Every structure is written in structure tokens, then in C-alpha cells.
Chains A and B, each alone.
Chain A
Amino acid sequence: MPIIELSNYTLAPAGSGQGINNFYFSLKKGDVCAIDTQNPDDARAFLRALASLVYPVRGIYRFKGKRKNLKAYRDMLPCKKKIGYIAPDASLISNLTLRQNILIYRYYSENDLSINVDDKIKTLCNTSRIADKLDHRPSELNKMEVQMAIVIREISKNPEILLLDRPEDFIGHANFDILVQLFKDWIDDAKPVVFLSYDRRLVRRFANRKILITNGDLTTVEVKWSNEHES
């Protein structure tokens, strides 16, 4: 059963995009989908649609087989918390410290403000060199540190699906190894991933489906990269 299924979906144009007309898309466990498009605004609109952050012009959104009414935003909250959304329009809450931002999901769900980051997240913070800035607010950090904190926050949610918009820019080319490791972990856990990337290495190494968005149409194709391609 698909985790997310969009049927007869139409997205209005956003930014310089053309919108996407009347498409069908389903995302199952183990899918690693790379978006291929000339227009990143269309790709971003598609990712936001998967995250249920934009309303379609028309269409049906199903989460784990259940039809969802996107306008009943409170019914969507349990679905949203299962989606890790890592994109330039994702942000940290500015009046909370980095630690509070990373832990906010746990503060809420465990109803305890005394909890601290676990070992896995601590290791990630150390690797990405933000461990000593956990008590700073987002405005005191540089862009790369903020973006890395967003990645860590989304991972700490332990999401079932990951949506990434140009992760190589987001995590930083210097941290490419971290990104590769994260992808490996997600694939090992059979978590579906949808990502837009201009880094061919990432696409060829991990993607098993390609989402083509051209002139307002969306099609998906299964891909099998040959060794030739990988080299």
C-alpha cells in the first residue's frame, strides 16, 4: 500500500513554475525518487504538495490509504509529523534555542521539558560542528549551521518519509559524506525518499525512480543505473 498517494492532482503555478496538471503519484516503502525538472519551482511545489503544505487546485490526497481533507488541518497533523521536510523554506523557530528547536517535537509528545538530545543526535551535532552552539538562537548562527540544525530536527522526529530539496546545498558540499551516510541509513530502513538534486552522484547512487516534471506534466519512471553510469 502506498504511504502517500496523490490522484487527479493539479497544482497551481508557483513562482516561475508552470504548475503540474492532473497527475497521479504514489510513494511506497523503499522508493527513492529523484525529481528531474528544468524548473525548480515546480519541483518545490510538488515537494510541498507531498508534505501537504499546499492545497491543490483539485485532487485527492491519501495517506496510508486514507483519504485526507487538507483543509481540516488538525486531521493532517498526525500525517505531517511522519514527514521529514528538508527544504530552503523549512525554518527553525526563531525564539527558541537550537536545542529547543531540535527537541520541540519530543517536548510536545513526551510532555517533558527536562529531556535532552539522545546519543544519535549528539553524534550528528558533533559531526556537523553545531554541538557547542545548541544553546544559541537561530539568529546567532550562520546559514549552514541553521540548515544543518533543520536536518537534525527532522531526523530526530524519526519520520517515515523524507522530502529533500537540493540536500547537497542544504547540508553543504563539505558535508557530502554526512549526506551519503544519511541516505544509506534511510535506504537501510526502507524509508521512502523524494529528493531534488543537481548532484548526479547522489541521483545515480541512490535513486530507483525518477520523477520527470516537464511542461506541467508529471511522469515517473523506474530506473536501474548500470555500472557504466555510476562510473
Chain B
Amino acid sequence: MERVAGYIGRKAIDSICHILDLFAFTYRILTLAFSNPKEGRALVGRVIVQQLYFTAVQALPVIVPIALLVGSAIIIQFAQFSGQYDFGRISVLLIVREVGPIITAMMVILRSATAVTIEVSYMRVLHELDAIEMSGMDPIRIVCVPRMIGITAALLGLFIVFDLVSIMGGYAIVWLVTYIPMSGFLHQIAKAITISDITVGIVKAILFGMTITVTCLYRGFESKRQITEVPVATSRSAVECFLYCLFINVFISIIFYL
């Protein structure tokens, strides 16, 4: 019994330490992001643009069809379930507030977060981070700051794209391929969306972006000696990112809507 309690206690302490490490790492990245000295600004700017391109622009061909499928499925289900009563409002509740942020975050985790963990882990194993330091550059400023800004901005953009495509596109698909009456749908949506929905969307996108970036960078930066440790770090970071995003999603929903 003592052993079990000890095991649980040690695991709990490890988890708390890990969370505190993540907060400390976030603080370090944010300090550097806000201080932004002139030296190296051009280099950081270029990496931000590259990250935006990889995470946002290249994700569009994937996120748009997913948004269409999810949007039309939700609209069909709720149109039948609600008997047209307030179904625009229910769609907004589900897509804008809950499904949109989570699916967008999941796409970013699958496409970019894992890639960032792999890239940084390789940089660690192959001593590329040492090479950056030996050039007098701070790896956190060169590697982490642009990725945090790029991924967070990309997530915000993708979140807007997902919501628009899933509601408008979903509406168009349902209108084109089914006989479900859709009168007043867009009007209901316009009435249902409030300022707090938009605020929650922005807050979720920023927090998800920061959480995803910090988690995958932290796992990438962890000391490694062999290439075989890279897949372990990648799978850990993906699972942790998703878990943290779910927690944050619930936490924000409780704060804003309860």
C-alpha cells in the first residue's frame, strides 16, 4: 500500500514539476518575444513568415475539406434533431465554441507540433543548437520565439477559416444536396453569435497556440543522445498537447459560459 501511495505521490510531484517547467519556459519565450532587441530581428522575422506558411497556408487544403464535412454533418443532424427550431443557434454553439477550436488545434498538433518536436529534437541530437549558441545567438530567440508567434497566429487564422467554412460551406452543401429546409439559418447564426463567442475564439486560439508550441518545443529541447529518442519525444508531445488543449477548452468554457 505504501509503495502504491509512494508511486502516486512521485508521479504527482513529477507532473507538477513538469507543468511548472512549462510555465517557466513560456515565461522565458515571452520575455524574449516582447524584448525583441534589434539584433537578429530580420532573422526572427523570416522564421516567423516560414512558420506561418508551413502551419497556416499549407494546412488550408486539409482544413477546408474537414471544415466542410464537419459543418455539413452538424448542420444536417441538428436540422433534423431540432425540427428547424433554433438550429442555427445550436450550430454556432457547437462549431464556434467547441468543435472548431478543438479540431483546428488537433490539425495543428498533427501537422505542425509534431514536426516542430522532430525538427528541434534533431537539432538537439545533431548539436545544431550548440552551433547556434556558438555563434552567439540565443536558441530560444532564434528557434522558439518565431515558432510561438507563427503557430499562434496561424492557429488564430485557421480557427477563423474553419468556422467560416464549416458554417457557410456546410450550409451550402446541405442546401445543395439535401431537401432540408434552411430558411432563416444564416439569420439565426448572425443573431446567435455574440461578442463573447468571438472573444472566446481568440482567447482559445492564443492559449492553444502557446500551449502547443511550448509543449512541443520543451519536448524537443529535452536533452537527448540518440536519434531513437526522437519518436518518443514526438509522441509524448502530441499526446500532451492534445490533453492540455482539452483542459484549456473546458476551463475557458466554464469561465465564459457558466
Contacts and interface: CB of A to CB of B under 8 A. Distances in A.
Interface of A: 51, 53, 73-74, 76-78, 80-83, 85, 89-95, 104-105, 107-109, 111-113, 157
Nearest to A84: B134
Given A91-B126, A108-B39, A111-B40, A77 B119 contact: no
Given A91-B128, A108-B40, A108-B43, 5 more contacts: A53-B133, A77-B136, A93-B132, A108-B39, A111-B39
Contacts of B240: none
Contact of B38 (A80, A90, A111): A111
A82 B136 CA distance: 8
Interface of B: 38-43, 46, 119, 122-123, 126-128, 130-138, 142
B123 A73 contact: no
The majority secondary structure among interface residues of chain B is helix
Contacts of B119: 95
A74 B37 CA distance: 14
Contacts of A104: 43, 132, 135, 137
A78 B130 contact: no
B122 A51 contact: no
Which one of A76, A80, A93, A108 has the greatest number of beta carbons of chain B within 10 Å?
A108
A91 B127 contact: yes
Contacts of A73: 133
Contacts of A80: 133-136
Contacts of A157: 135
Nearest to A159: B134
A218 to B, nearest CB: 23
A151 to B, nearest CB: 13
Contacts of B131: 90-93
Nearest to A109: B39
A92 B129 CA distance: 10
A88 B136 CA distance: 20
Contact of A77 (B38, B42, B46, B137): B137
B42 A113 contact: yes
Nearest to B46: A113
Contacts of A78: 136
A104 to B, nearest CB: 6
Contacts of A94: 122-123, 126, 128
A108 B136 contact: yes
B139 to A, nearest CB: 9
A108 B146 CA distance: 14
21 contacts: A80-B134, A89-B130, A90-B134, A91-B130, A92-B131, A93-B131, A93-B132, A94-B122, A94-B128, A104-B137, A105-B137, A107-B43, A108-B39, A108-B135, A108-B137, A109-B39, A109-B40, A111-B38, A111-B39, A111-B43, A112-B42
